[in-house]
């Protein structure tokens, strides 16, 4: 049940800086090298969650996995579909994701704008997701359309093969799930998501990101 509910708040990951991320957050714990924090969002009964850790993995390899649209079904828990609905430009896509959840919880899906950015001077890569409406992705019968408000990844190169990884998520799974249950269980999402990325990148079969490799 913990894994099931935690992925209802997916939508993997705004482009806020580390200084903002440190303000107003309360610690939850540290698991597998990931420090997890939470913050109650004004006007909502749901918490935003974030995770942060530094790992001995080349940043170019991690970015390669994040930008590879063929891999999410391999390392994102419960995902059944991930596809690019529209390629806007080299750094922007509209994506669709669906999640198969066991009865009695309805399946969830997301339609999001995915925006990536490279900061060569700061050696920082960011990828942001925000829910949007798109004419080619109508609501599915039996599936609840969830909404991602603030979901992003921030990766920073801190050494030749060391990467600081941050993720923040604030989404609404919608439907009839009580807020207290979502808040209780989704706190595992940041460390599970970062760990999934690390494990998938360790296989070494995804091409490293060339822009990051040049830093």
Structural domain boundaries of the chain? 2-213
pLDDT score of 78? 76
Neighbours of 153 (CB within 10 A): 24
Q: Within 13 Å of residue 188, how many CA atoms lie on the same side as its CB?
A: 15
Rounded to an integer, what is the distance from CA 133 to the centroid of its chain? 19
pTM score of the predicted model? 0.84
Query: Which region among 27-31, 69-73, 78-82, 102-106 has the lowest average model confidence (pLDDT)?
Result: 102-106
**Higher local confidence (pLDDT), 37 or 24:** 37
pLDDT score of 185? 62
Q: Which CATH architecture has domain 2-213?
A: 2-Layer Sandwich (3.30)
**What is the rounded CA–CA span in Å between residue 42 and residue 25?**
13
**Higher local confidence (pLDDT), 23 or 134:** 134
Query: Which region among 39-48, 54-63, 87-96, 99-108 has the lowest average model confidence (pLDDT)?
Result: 99-108
**What is the rounded CA–CA span in Å between residue 20 and residue 47?**
16
- How open is the CA angle 57-62-66, to the nearest 5 degrees? 165
pLDDT score of 113? 97
First to last CA, the chain: 42
For residue range 135-172, what is the model confidence (pLDDT) as tens digits? Answer: 989 888 889 999 999 889 999 999 999 999 999 999 88
pLDDT band (50, 70, 90) for residue 173: confident
What is each CA distance from 160 to 82, 106, 153, 166, 214, in whole angstroms? 32, 44, 20, 18, 11
pLDDT score of 5? 42
pLDDT score of 182? 65
Average pLDDT, the chain: 86
Q: Of 102, 103, 67, whose CA–CA distance to 82 is shortest?
A: 67
- DSSP β-ladder status, 163-172 and 47-55: antiparallel
Average pLDDT (105-126) is: 94
Contact 137, 96 (CB under 8 A): yes
């Amino acid at each position: 049940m913990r894994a099931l509910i935690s992925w209802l708040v997916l939508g993997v990951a705004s482009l806020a800086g580390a200084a903002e991320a440190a303000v107003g957050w309360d610690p939850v714990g540290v698991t597998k090298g990931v420090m997890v924090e939470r913050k109650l969002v004004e006007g909502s009964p749901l918490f935003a969650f974030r995770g942060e850790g530094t790992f001995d993995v080349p940043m170019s390899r991690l970015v390669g996995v994040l930008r590879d649209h063929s891999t999410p079904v391999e390392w994102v828990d419960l995902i059944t579909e991930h596809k690019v609905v529209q390629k806007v430009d080299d750094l922007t896509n509209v994506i669709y994701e669906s999640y198969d959840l066991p009865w009695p919880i309805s399946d969830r899906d997301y339609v999001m704008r995915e925006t990536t950015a490279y900061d060569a001077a700061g050696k920082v890569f960011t990828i942001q997701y925000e829910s949007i409406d798109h004419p080619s992705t109508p609501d599915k019968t039996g599936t609840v359309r969830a909404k991602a408000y603030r979901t992003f990844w921030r990766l920073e190169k801190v050494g030749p093969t060391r990467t600081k990884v941050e993720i923040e998520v604030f989404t609404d799974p919608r439907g009839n799930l009580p807020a207290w249950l979502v808040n209780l269980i989704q706190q595992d999402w940041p460390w599970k998501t970062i760990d999934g990325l690390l494990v998938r990148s360790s296989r070494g079969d995804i091409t490293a990101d060339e822009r990051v490799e040049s830093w």
